[in-house]
Amino acid sequence: MVKKLAPTALLICIPLVWLGLVASLALHLYLDLLDHAQDANQQVQLLQQSFKTFNLQANQPLKPFKPTLDAIQTDLNFIQTEFKRYQLLIQLAKNVTPFRADLETTEYLIAGGQNLLLAANEALDAAQIALDGFDNLASFAIPGLENDSQPQSGAALLDEPQLARLDQSLGQIDSYVKQGLADFNRIPYNSLKADAPLTRVTDYLRAQFSTLSNGLDEARTGLGVVRRVLGFDEPATFLVLLNDADELRPNGGFAGNYALLTLWRAQIVSFKLENSYRPDDAVLAKEPINVPAPYNEWWPLRYAWGLRDVSLTPDWPDTVQNIQHLLYQEGVSGNLTGAIALNPGFIKNLLQTSGPVRVLSLPEYDENVDATNFVERIHYHQALDERNQDLDFYQRKKFIRYLAVAVLAKIKTLPKNELPEVGKDALAALDQRDLLLYLSDPMAQKLIDKMGWGGRLETKQDCLCVADTSEAGNKTNSVVSQTISDKISLNPDGSATHQVVLTYNYTGTLADYQSSQQLLDHVAYNRFYLAAGSRIIARSGFDDSNGVVQQYGREVWGQLVTLQPGQKRDFTFSWQTPALAGTHSSGNSSFYNLTVQKQPGSNFYYHIEVKPPEGVQISQSEGNLSPPINRDGSAVLFDGWLTKDLQLRVMMSP
């Protein structure tokens, strides 16, 4: 009987053993492939982190990314080779093992990953084209600034072939991304186990394709912006304001100097640096220039407004609209491609990058200027030149011209590997509102706003921007410090009560060469830009207070501050936001968001703390600190110098 059953058993066992071997080999192969897939995923994450922290100072800043891309390529090639080598086994394994979804997912991940890799390599090549523009900086000239009698010409930062290559690269990247997304859409996502390693890899890489797709749209828009800004289609003319933050204004400072800059095919063909009083006075000698509402309620020179005082609002696009109206009225310029405001913080960063410069124009000037003394040297020569060298009023600021020449010359002689630091200085200045940009092209301005560089006053549920405007015109902002302490109580109805103490401290003494000015008191018109619908509770200590004005979707409260040398004064201001402008609920938790925007050119110290309603406690806070919760339930969200806009957040639970 046994002998009769043996053949039958053998017929049954052989297929089972065969299936077992297939399953075993398939499992081994699957685990091996999964290991390489996870390794490739880790390399992608490493690459992403490297992009966030890479050093522009390297001679070839993009070169370190290549080994990581090569490592990813090695893993993907291995997996792809194994799939081809064991194609029949894998096909059988899909039918006799529980790994069908995982194996199919791995196949599509490889295809999508290959496209992601191709897109990354193409993006690196495109980025290198853009960085190569720094190679031409040494021969980049600014006619009218470097040499008045012999305008120079130099190399363009970019040319048409480079722009065409960038456009071609973006098109190729777009093709890779679309194909990669098509591969990802074939993944049997619903058949994967939740939170399994392969599922996490899929989720991560899917997010990368989505991010890359969004970034590609922005890059295409940005390339069109570059063409218009650099004047490839028609000459591009920009107004450049040089602001003096020692005489603070809402967009950085008194605009004592300006320049009109014209670009044609990425070369500067015209640049004229001028005292802003010259066009202002030419018109004011014939007729008054009225300050626009609502600033005519408090600005003292309401019938003698000009380009020098154009910045009366911290909303930069609104300021530019006033600028264009003034330039047309004064006959300086017609339509502008854009406007740029340079605040001292940006110049300071440039001088830190370049090192000290020698301002030489014998017999008038011969001295070293650096990041610590350039503002003081400008003021010194403005006062000294006017009194001692018989220069007329409009010529007394020519030291700025020589300083600009010296800084430009120093930057152009920097080693090639240090030139990208200039770009980093510009990016930092944009974040810190020491460099303000406006472009008349709507799509271009939309891109700037999206990057957070538009200088707009944002409309948020709860927000704060404190802006000062110097009215005395005596550079006292250099010796006056300001501290803003805001204690916020969150109320049960969702509103927020702010109690602010604003402290001004006249700590220093103006230099001797500035003592000829009659007004040594610090006189500032201070404004609080608050959430729409906020209700004032009390304010005290101010010399004069005006009513509320609605602007930019905010409530604006203005008040006058005066301070004598050596004096320290505290002012109080409290208000309550509308219900639900403070706290919002989400499930069993609630949260509070506060946007604090920096006034360009200002140097205010902020202390911000929040106390939740009774019976609610703070579970998490997002600010520049991670402090313990105080005994009264409050927490400090920020304590320091406000260098850029803040987005603060508090999570609360019962």
> pLDDT tens digits for 613-630?
888 888 776 655 455 678
131, pLDDT greater than 70: no
- The structure tokens listed for 431 are 């974040």
Rounded CA separation 68/50 (Å)? 10
For residue 329, pLDDT over 90 is answered with no
Q: How far lies 270's CA from each of 89, 148, 280, 347, in Å?
A: 71, 11, 22, 22
Question: What is the C-alpha separation between 491 and 497, in angstroms, rounded?
Answer: 7
Least confidently predicted of 312-321, 387-396, 488-497, 624-633: 387-396
What is the per-residue burial (b if ≥16 Cβ within 10 Å, else e) of 326-344? bbeebebbeebbbbbbbbb
Picking from 261, 251, 301, 253, the residue whose alpha carbon sits closest to that of residue 281 is 301
Mean pLDDT computed over 591-608:
94
* CA distances in angstroms from 251 to 276, 349, 382, listed in the order given: 16, 18, 22
The residues with which 480 forms a beta bridge, in sequence order, are 506
Alpha-carbon distance values, 602 to 238, 244, 416, 507 (Å): 24, 11, 33, 16
Closest CA to 436 of 317, 597, 308: 317
Indicate whether 24 pLDDT > 70. Answer: no
Q: What is the pLDDT of residue 251?
A: 92
Q: Quote the pLDDT of residue 237.
A: 92
The fraction of the chain above a pLDDT of 90, given in percent, is 29
* Enclosing H/E stretch for 557: strand 554-563
Residue 222 has pLDDT above 90, yes or no: no
What pLDDT, on a 0 to 100 scale, did the predictor assign at position 409? 83
Q: Would you state the pLDDT for residue 72?
A: 64
- The verdict on pTM exceeding 0.95 is no
Select from 344, 404, 399, 408 the least CA-distant residue to 366: 399
Determine the average pLDDT of the residues in 473-479: 88
Q: Which residue has the higher pLDDT, 174 or 346?
A: 346
pLDDT at site 318: 94
Residue 544, token pair as written in the block: 């004069």
Under the banding of pLDDT at 50, 70 and 90, the label for residue 49 is low
pLDDT at 87 over 80: no
Can you name the residues that pair with 167 across neighbouring β-strands?
Answer: none
**φ, ψ of residue 588 in degrees (nearest 5):** -90, -5
List the single range of 204-218, 338-352, 436-450, 532-546 with lowest mean pLDDT. Answer: 204-218
Peptide bond into 294 cis (omega under 30): yes
Encode pLDDT of 140-153 as tens digits: 666 666 554 444 45
Average pLDDT, the chain: 79
Beta strand segments in 326-462, E = 338-342, 357-361, 365-369, 435-439
pLDDT category at 239 given cuts 50, 70, 90 is: very high
Residues 436-447: tens digit of each pLDDT: 999 998 888 988
